[in-house]
A and B are shown apart, each in its own frame.
Chain A
Amino acid sequence: GDQGHEPPRHCPTYIYKVVLLGSTAVGKSSLAYRYVKNDFQESLPTVGCSFFTKIIRMESATVKLEIWDTAGQEKYHSVCHLYYRGAHAALLVYDITNKETLGRAKQWLKELEKEFLHDEIVIALVGNKMDLAEEREVPLFSSQEGEEFARSRSLLFAETSAKSNHQVKDVFMAVGKTWGKHEASQAWTGPLGRGCCPVALLPPSPSAPAA
């Protein structure tokens, strides 16, 4: 692999593709960076699309997590569908201090629902910047928004903070876990003939944090 350390021969490698979608500046890149590098930077403006990989080694298999992070700008829209094609999971990210961004995340959900069948993809709604709770615009418990909305569409839900490292790993693990349950018998074959099969990731975390 490009990480320089090949997995042992007998141990199969599975590729798992996760895409991050949402408005500009909600913290998509920061979430990816936190998860892959366990670090936070104030400024990481994305141009086009960024691609990160993270190798997760388990006893019986290795999972190569591919994370696609898009700039989310209008001028790149026509290329976006390419990025989420073949995705196993999508994180729809909004910023809890900006209500508009939740609306945008819901629009992304519509697009995904057009592109994928119900069981084809695991979708998580992620409210980021929960360290800024005092500036919150999107309430955590209400019928229309956030968690309730996620539950009504059978999406996973979490509030995260890339900055203070809250629930970031858990979100990535959770989408991996649920996908394993849903897609136990299916294998996706991408353009390079890369197959995928279920893997037990870490135990899922509670989806709703204590506010």
Chain B
Amino acid sequence: MAADVQAGRGGEEPGGGLAPGDGQHGERADSPTPGLAQGTEPGAGQEGAMFVHTRSYEDLTSPEDGGAAARSPEERRGEAAGPSSMEQISKDFSELSTQLTGMALDLEEEMRPGKEGKLEPAPQAARHDSVLSGKEEEDVTMDAWRMHRKHVFVLSEAGKPVYSRYGSEEALSSTMGVMMALVSFLEADKNAIRSIHADGYKVVFVRRSPLVLVAVARTRQSEQEIAHELLYIYYQILSLLTWTQLNHIFQQKQNYDLRRLLAGSERITDNLLDLMAHDPSFLMGAVRCLPLAASVRDAVSTSLQQAKAKSLVFSILLSGNQLVSLVRKKDQFLHPIDLHLLFNLISSSSSFREGEAWTPICLPKFNSSGFFHAHISYLEQEMDLCLLLVSTDREDFFTVSDCKRRFQERLRRRGVHHALQEALRTPFYSVAQVGIPDLRHFIYKSKSSGLFTSPEIEAPYVREEEKERLLGLYQYLHSRAHNSSRPLKNIYFTGPRENLLAWVTSAFELYICYSPLGTKAGAISAVNKLMKWIRKEEDRLFILTPQTY
């Protein structure tokens, strides 16, 4: 097994942006405008960010070995499959679909080359305002929730099954041959993302040597978004094994059966897939904070900070999938993807509620070559507060366990225990607090802090499929806003059941959902009012003063 990591990340490390996004800190405008500089938008940290600065997709898609990133799109296009292989793929895919659904599909799929390499929106291509009619997009968004079915497969380059979301072992091995035929198509480009579009289906391939990840989706997510989810699955596997170990294994033995090593952790991957379908954190590539009075949060953070140990790199307190506090070693930044993986790990097992857990874990965006050791425990039986202490030293269990005890003692002494308990009683706020009658829901992300805020999803989105439909609408707008060839900065969407508006600038992203009776003018004034409200509430909704040891 790989040696333990020392905290830190060399300049050669993969993953794109290493600098924290604490760029320019100008005046904090009261009413934000599209020209708002990054770092001054509501929710931007006052003393720098907690996270590595992320730029959405390219950050996810940058390969671990950094090799392919430097290549030009032209080079990649040159490697696209010729017509003969496409025919073969159509045929293979028709067999595959049949096996997956038990019915033949009319295959008139369009084949699209991958969109890799040009994922950053080209500003000149951005249309500044665009109105999408619900008529035109109706089937898209209606179907998004009803046809919520997505198969996910992971296999090794030698064709050995590694993971399958729904398929039984037998089904899995029978489809693997077909998968491999499809995958051979990726041969030329080690880190390609490819997709096939068929009648109501998308098949998306992501290759991260030595693994190939495949999604067969009936959702109407863009291939970029599906690829984004597949990459999360890839990182999930890395977090269990490290990139170094994974590569070592397959260098030793090409047809190694990785399922042996991953036995027992399938449910962590299952959980991640379910979580991604419900929690906008993954879509936004950002972290949501538990709403908490700044004074209480500061007291919690200070207590965490004081309960430090030499080997600790991150101390993280969370509730549900919301961040309460994060204290980090100076100069060490966590990546939101790594934090999402930790959130997922914790929500995937009830066993953390009992006793104290001590487990090796790789944070692949921080350092994909080594393990940290995480101490995971809940503070109290009846309280949804989970403490995660990330250490570099696997021998340090008792020291780290003692940090937990010291943290709890400090919390008690500062008398914030009760306030925390109160805050946990209402972990989500109501959109009614904003005071805009037509406003139903929104998601606001501050790009420089990597944090977002969003109210509870309320009526009329009560049933589970209604909630998923709303998330589907956001996903749809998000993919339109981040479309690699034609990104949109403003999107106004009118549908029979609700209207939505998306506004994406260099500093923030805002998605609002409001009544179908609301007008566009009304929506625009609502946005202004909402932004003022977020500014007013920002010290409760965000972590503005992150702390270090």
Contacts and interface: CB of A to CB of B under 8 A. Distances in A.
Is B one of A's binding partners?
yes
Interface of A: 2, 24, 29, 32-33, 36-37, 41, 43-53, 67, 69, 71, 73-76, 78-79, 82, 191-192
Contacts of A33: 354
Interface residue tally on B, bucketed by range: 20 to 34
Given A45-B349, A191-B398, A51 B263 contact: no
B261 A48 contact: no
19 contacts: A24-B263, A32-B355, A33-B354, A43-B350, A44-B350, A44-B354, A45-B267, A47-B268, A47-B345, A47-B349, A47-B357, A51-B356, A51-B397, A67-B355, A71-B264, A75-B240, A75-B241, A75-B265, A82-B395
A49 B358 CA distance: 5
Given A49-B357, A67-B355, 4 more contacts: A37-B354, A51-B357, A75-B265, A191-B398
Given A74-B261, A79-B360, A192-B398, A52 B405 contact: no
Contacts of B401: 2, 51
A41 B261 contact: no
Interface string B368-404: 0000001010000000000000000011011001001
Most A C-beta atoms less than 10 A away, residue of B268, B357, B376, B404: B357
B352 interface: yes
B260 interface: yes
Contacts of A52: 354-356
A37 B374 CA distance: 24
Given A2-B405, A45-B264, A76-B360, A191 B395 contact: yes
A76 B265 CA distance: 12
Contacts of A53: 355
Given A24-B263, A79-B394, A50 B357 contact: yes
B398 to A, nearest CB: 6
A74 B258 CA distance: 11
B351 A50 contact: yes
Interface in B492-526: none
A142 B148 CA distance: 53
Interface in B327-377: 345, 348-352, 354-361, 374, 376
Interface of B: 1, 240-241, 260-265, 267-268, 345, 348-352, 354-361, 374, 376, 394-395, 397-398, 401, 404-405
B251 to A, nearest CB: 17
Nearest to A67: B355
Nearest to B359: A48
B354 A47 contact: no
A115 B241 CA distance: 26
Contacts of B395: 82, 191
Contacts of A75: 240-241, 261-262, 265
A50 B378 CA distance: 13
A48 B397 CA distance: 12
B272 to A, nearest CB: 14
B121 to A, nearest CB: 38
Nearest to A41: B350
Contact of A78 (B1, B357, B374): B1
Nearest to A45: B349
Contacts of B260: 74
A181 to B, nearest CB: 28
Given A73-B264, A78-B1, A48 B354 contact: no
A73 B261 CA distance: 7
A71 B355 CA distance: 14
B316 to A, nearest CB: 16
A29 B350 CA distance: 12
A29 B267 CA distance: 17
A37 B351 CA distance: 13
Contacts of A44: 349-351, 354
Given A79-B394, A82-B394, A73 B265 contact: yes
Contacts of B264: 24, 45, 71, 73
A51 B374 CA distance: 13
Given A73-B264, A74-B261, A191-B395, A50 B354 contact: yes
Contacts of A79: 1, 360, 394
Contacts of B374: 48
Contacts of A43: 350
Contacts of A29: 351, 354
A74 B263 contact: yes
A96 B405 CA distance: 39
Nearest to A53: B355
Contacts of A50: 351, 354-358
Given A51-B397, A73-B263, A82-B395, A45 B351 contact: yes
Contacts of B267: 45
Nearest to B2: A78
A45 to B, nearest CB: 5
Contacts of B268: 47
Contact of A47 (B263, B359, B394): B359
Contact of B355 (A36, A41, A73, A192): A36
A182 B264 CA distance: 37
A51 B395 CA distance: 14
A78 B265 CA distance: 17
Contact of B358 (A48, A78, A191): A48
A47 B241 contact: no
Nearest to B402: A2
A41 B404 CA distance: 26
B351 A46 contact: yes
Contacts of B405: 2
A32 B357 CA distance: 13
Top 8 nearest A-B pairs by Cβ distance? A48-B359, A52-B355, A78-B1, A44-B351, A51-B356, A50-B355, A73-B264, A49-B358
A50 B348 CA distance: 15
A14 B398 CA distance: 16
A136 B67 CA distance: 55
B270 to A, nearest CB: 11
A43 B267 CA distance: 12
Nearest to A48: B359
Contacts of B358: 48-51
Contacts of B394: 79, 82
Nearest to A46: B351
Most B C-beta atoms less than 10 A away, residue of A47, A73, A78: A47
A46 B349 CA distance: 7
Contacts of B240: 75
B210 to A, nearest CB: 16
A23 to B, nearest CB: 10
B34 to A, nearest CB: 45
B352 A47 contact: yes
A178 to B, nearest CB: 25
Nearest to B268: A47
Most A C-beta atoms less than 10 A away, residue of B261, B355, B357: B355
